[in-house]
Amino acid sequence: MRSIVVLAVALASALAEVDATTEGGMVQVAQSRVVNGALTSIDQFPYIVSMQYYGAHRCGGSIITTNRILTAAHCTVNIAANTLAIRAGSTNSQSGGELVAVVEYTNHQSFNPTTLENDISIMFLDTRLVTSLQISVIPLPMQNATIPVGIIADVAGWGALCEKCPGASTLQYVGLPILSNEDCGSMYGESIFPGMLCAGFVEGGRDACQGDSGGPLSDGYLLLGVVSWGDGCARPNSPGVFTQVSLYRNWINGLL
């Protein structure tokens, strides 16, 4: 995984229509953590899952149907599906809830592992999850829905609490403001491509990090984005970059 957090963001519910149904420099690196966030519980984020690789937490993911998990392509690329599982319904990444095997995954056909364009993937589960107060599907925004700049969206995960720190075993979250791609591009230059969206504080201090990759950015109702990359964790002028879910809704629908 990479050391830079990327959060892919999709439409905010306030203005959205809902469908019923390695490291260093400016190189994009996958991250695993939430920095300067707070402890939370699965009851607050029942749609989040821990992606497990040989039994250890690797990335986050979001439940979009009872047998489909949305995550980042850089979390799954070049990894055999039979080495992956997801843990749902637990605040702890290593125990509790439901542990379900992944049988296959589909990365976006135009995923670029160098630039992290189209950093989105769907994992297919061996059995359907049983929904409960701790396990639920998160609604998706409509295709091409826009996200208002300045709204606060929550990122949750089991990532590191600081750069080069180990991941957290207990679920964490942090609220981040949505930035315009123009402002984000002024900090990251030509690394920001269509399909990406940024969230974070210009002064730094709060962010996602290693281990948070693939996890959700949400407004409390809709899945706005997928954690993708960033320059380090919580650094000034280095917001999180996300895959904007609303720009991939048609692609997602084709795999449901």
Q: Which of 74, 219, 238, 246 is catalytic?
A: 74
Q: How far is the C-alpha of 6 from the C-alpha of 87, rounded, in Å?
A: 22
Active site residue 108: no
CA neighbours within 13 Å on the CB side: how many for 84? Answer: 26
Dihedral sign from CA coordinates of 231, 232, 238, 244: positive
Q: How many CB atoms lie within 10 A of CB 203?
A: 10
Q: Which of 119, 207, 212, 219 is catalytic?
A: 119
Active site residue 119: yes
Q: Which of 90, 213, 228, 246 is catalytic?
A: 213
Give me the long-range contacts of 181-185 (CB less than 8 A, separation at least 24): 184/239, 184/241
* Residues forming a β-bridge with 107: 121
Any idea which residue has 């992944």 for tokens?
102
Q: How many CB atoms lie within 10 A of CB 43?
A: 11
Active site residue 213: yes
Active-site positions read 74, 119, 213
